[in-house]
Structure 1
Amino acid sequence: MEQFLLAAAFVLVAGAGIAAAVLLVRQRRVAAELRRQNAVLAHGLDLREKELRHLADVRLPELMESLTNPAVRVAGPLHDLDREAPAFEQALQTVMDLFAGSAARVRERADRSAKSTLRAMMRAVQSLANEQQLAISHMQERHDDPDVLEGLLRVDHMNAQIGRRAQATAVLCGSWPGQQRSASSLTDVVRGATSRIRDYLRVNLEGSPSSAVTSRAVEPVVLTLAELLDNAARHSRPDTTVEVNFRSVHNGVAITIDDAGVAMDADELQHASELLSGEVSVDIHRLGDPPRVGFAVAGVLAARYGFRVSVDSHSPYGGVRAVVFLPSALLTTVPDERGPARAVPARAAENTAPADGTSTASGLPKRNRVAVAEPPAAPDGDEEPGAPDTGERPPARPARETAAGLGAWQRGTRSGRARTPPDAGGPGAESKDLRP
């Protein structure tokens, strides 16, 4: 009996030991699994914390920057979330998409607001510049003093540059160029663009094509050429020239502008090509300080009016070559014959035939009085009609008489540009001033 009890007790003790051992092993396994799960959870929490910090500090700012600068690359996640936390990766991408959409809408609203404000301001500036131009023109008609006229020509030239800046800004903000002109020859178009830049004396125009630009495209092409000529002059040495040439092709005319400045690198050429294509929206907040609007304005006008503008570093003078291609649809015949090309500083000279003249001491062109043949003097006792020229020059005209002639020439030019109705020969006929 005792042996049976001992055997039973041994069995019970052994069973309890086995059960205890099983429970201990199981507990250890559970503890190990819990430790593993805790480690996974801790790693996941640390991963998410790092990814959220990376999202706020790096990825979202880069995403904001990439909305306006496609060259900026947005960084990806720090970890392989596709393997470690696919759901969290999807949540982060949703946040990125929502942020990008919101930022784009905010930037678009801000851009529209800024452009609307600038457009209204530039319209006011353009209006004032036009009124000032009329005042300058009237003063040029009234004053014959050479010094006064020289000062007026200088003011006229500066006013033309102010008007061009306001005009370019208005175009970038969605406005139209602001002037409507009659069809003009290509030489007159280039001459008009030259008159709106500071370094107009450095522009050398070669050739005189027989084509003209249609009325609707004259002002856009003039403004485009003015911006390209200004860029060429500003980015080249002041003792070099800016060469302008024409090349006729089967479907249009190409106007080439070559400067002797520093060539553009590959990145600059790529950025310029994007702006000149007119296919990208121009962010006026990212035009630099001071703003660089030349290529942007040219691209907007080219896309709007149907011509093309390109730049490359193949200028024969080592600088940059800009090409404005005008298709046949924008060309017509020359409305009238013009003289040789000459740079003039005043916008009032854009629509007039060129006149012979010199540069004043300050560099501004000054038109000379048109020579008028005078009847020969009556012979006296010491001189007979038709006597040979002795080589002596007549005395110089007084300054006041020369100034009066210059003023008369200007008034005649204004009158010649006016349109006379069919019954102009009748009494009381009046002419209408068609100046822009």
Structure 2
Amino acid sequence: MTSLIQDVLLCVPSAGFVAASAVAVRYRGAQANALRQVAALDEEARHLANTRLPALVYTSQNGTGNSASPTGATLHQQLARTETGLAYRSILDQVDAALKAAETRAEASSRAAVQATTSSLQPLVYDIQTAITQLLATEHDATMLARLQPLDHLASQLARRLQILAVITGKWPGRQRDDVPLLDAVRGGVSRIRDYLRVRVPREFPYYVSSRYVEPVVLAVAELLDNAARHSAPRTPVEVTFVDAHQGISIEIHDAGSGMTAEVRAEAARRLSGQHPVQLTKLRTPPAFGHLGVGALARQYGFTVRLDQEHSVHGGIRAVVFVPRTMLAAPPAGDAGPVQERLAHTASAAADSTRADGHGYQVTGDGLALRPPPSRGPRHRAQQLTPPEPPPADSGRALAAFAQGTQTVHTPTHEAPATEEPPR
């Protein structure tokens, strides 16, 4: 009996010790768990400052990243739904909203500055061109004409650059014209680039461009021609051809340059598509406007532009401007129609020395009227007009001076080296 009591007394302290030990273990576990939570919060704070916020800023500035989760994920998923995780998410959302608002204000300010600049400079350039045109029309000195022609050409290039800047900011190209032959529109683009002497265009093409689309086509062709000339050797040609397709007309521009890498060609195609909004604040340094302007024109007026390297006749780049038939206009009254019809008509007319046209007088093969000899009756003599006075003896000097000055300008004295510029 005594030994049993002693055994019970020995067990009582042991049970207390076990209970105390269990409490201590639970305390140490809770303390370790609290320490882990504190460490997780510290790591999440460092992740917010060092990773998530910089990623958000980079995404906002460069337009990259995951659009579904632009602010990034939490480092510890168990904190995502906690007060701390929600607070961090709120911080990121506020920073994202502030960045977007600042970006919108910066873009609006940039566009306003560019529009104000182009709006003030374009009229001045047009006035310069008008003054030079008047001088060219009235000046008869060959030396003066030779000096004025390069100035006129430089003013045309400056006007084109300002128009492209205006188009990128959403403004109208700035000029309204009548319906013109598509060939004349292409020649107008040729006249606005620096290396215009290297461009070869067809001699004949029968189609007309509607007045609303003339200036956009001229600008787009000029930018593509300028890009082709700048990225090919100075002695190589830039050839323009036309393809008459069922849905429209393709203007093909072939250069003899070194071509483009796949990445550069993909970026050029993206810009020429016009499907992506132009952001002036995100242009590279130095900025390139040519392809962006062509893409903006294509989107606004309904034509398409594409580049490829496989079908270039000179191994360079082929740029194709597809003009749908909705942008074409009917030939003006009196136009004989397609080139083949006009040639056939001319050949048929030349076969006959003279023919009657139904108006009572004869016409020659070239379409000029062949007047009959005047009647000798008194009534006819009364209706005869006084013959015009002969022109002055020096009346041909102006035309000769203009021709000599133009020939002087069109004779290149040197050739500039090809520049290694990125696609415009």
Q: TM-score range by the shorter chain?
A: 0.7 to 0.9
How big is the shift at 1:409? Answer: 8.4
- Partner SS state of residue 114, structure 2: helix
Paired residues, number: 343
- In structure 2, do the counterparts of structure 1 residues 403 and 103 end up closer, same or farther at CA, with 3 Å as the change threshold? farther
Equivalent residue number for residue 139 of structure 1: 135
- In structure 2, do the counterparts of structure 1 residues 402 and 234 end up closer, same or farther at CA, with 3 Å as the change threshold? farther
Contact map agreement 1:58 1:75 (CA 8 A) in 2: no
Equivalent residue number for residue 117 of structure 1: 113
1:367-386 alpha-carbon deviations (Å, 9 max, x no partner): xxxxxxxxxxxxxxxxxxxx
User: Map of 1:156-305 to 2, 5 A cutoff?
Assistant: 156-206=152-202, 208-305=204-301
TM-score w.r.t. length of structure 2:
0.73
Contact map agreement 2:142 2:401 (CA 8 A) in 1: no
- In structure 2, do the counterparts of structure 1 residues 93 and 38 end up closer, same or farther at CA, with 3 Å as the change threshold? closer
How big is the shift at 1:217? Answer: 0.2
Aligned-partner residue type, residue 168 of structure 1: I
- In structure 2, do the counterparts of structure 1 residues 203 and 409 end up closer, same or farther at CA, with 3 Å as the change threshold? closer
Contact map agreement 1:140 1:407 (CA 8 A) in 2: no
Equivalent residue number for residue 319 of structure 1: 316
- In structure 2, do the counterparts of structure 1 residues 333 and 305 end up closer, same or farther at CA, with 3 Å as the change threshold? same
- Partner SS state of residue 77, structure 2: helix
Aligned-partner residue type, residue 246 of structure 2: H
Q: Matches of 1:235 and 1:161 in 2, distance apart? A: 17
How big is the shift at 1:159? Answer: 0.5
Q: Matches of 1:288 and 1:403 in 2, distance apart? A: 53
1:328 is aligned to 2:325: yes
Q: Matches of 1:207 and 1:405 in 2, distance apart? A: 24
How big is the shift at 1:321? Answer: 1.1
Equivalent residue number for residue 343 of structure 2: none
How big is the shift at 1:191? Answer: 0.5
Q: Matches of 1:226 and 1:325 in 2, distance apart? A: 15
1:404 is aligned to 2:405: no
Equivalent residue number for residue 29 of structure 1: 25
1:257-312 alpha-carbon deviations (Å, 9 max, x no partner): 11111222222222222211211111123333332111100111111111111112
1:5-52 alpha-carbon deviations (Å, 9 max, x no partner): x9767744541x124312332133123313431342243124213311
Contact map agreement 2:79 2:85 (CA 8 A) in 1: no
How big is the shift at 1:238? Answer: 1.0
Aligned-partner residue type, residue 318 of structure 1: G
1:82 is aligned to 2:81: no
Contact map agreement 1:214 1:330 (CA 8 A) in 2: yes
How big is the shift at 1:333? Answer: 3.2
Aligned-partner residue type, residue 404 of structure 1: A
Structure 1: state its 5+ residue gaps. 339-399, 411-436
Structure 2: state its 5+ residue gaps. 337-393, 405-424
- Aligned-residue sequence identity (percent) comes to 34
- In structure 2, do the counterparts of structure 1 residues 120 and 130 end up closer, same or farther at CA, with 3 Å as the change threshold? same
Q: CA RMSD in A?
A: 3.0
Q: Matches of 1:249 and 1:273 in 2, distance apart? A: 22
- In structure 2, do the counterparts of structure 1 residues 337 and 155 end up closer, same or farther at CA, with 3 Å as the change threshold? farther
Q: Matches of 1:100 and 1:206 in 2, distance apart? A: 55
- In structure 2, do the counterparts of structure 1 residues 113 and 168 end up closer, same or farther at CA, with 3 Å as the change threshold? same
Q: Matches of 1:337 and 1:193 in 2, distance apart? A: 24
Contact map agreement 2:198 2:236 (CA 8 A) in 1: yes
Q: Matches of 2:212 and 2:66 in 1, distance apart? A: 34
Contact map agreement 1:133 1:159 (CA 8 A) in 2: yes
How big is the shift at 1:162? Answer: 0.7
TM-score w.r.t. length of structure 1:
0.71
Aligned-partner residue type, residue 57 of structure 2: P
Q: Matches of 2:267 and 2:161 in 1, distance apart? A: 22
How big is the shift at 1:249? Answer: 0.5
Q: Matches of 1:70 and 1:240 in 2, distance apart? A: 45
How big is the shift at 1:313? Answer: 1.8
Q: Matches of 2:49 and 2:119 in 1, distance apart? A: 47
Contact map agreement 1:198 1:230 (CA 8 A) in 2: yes
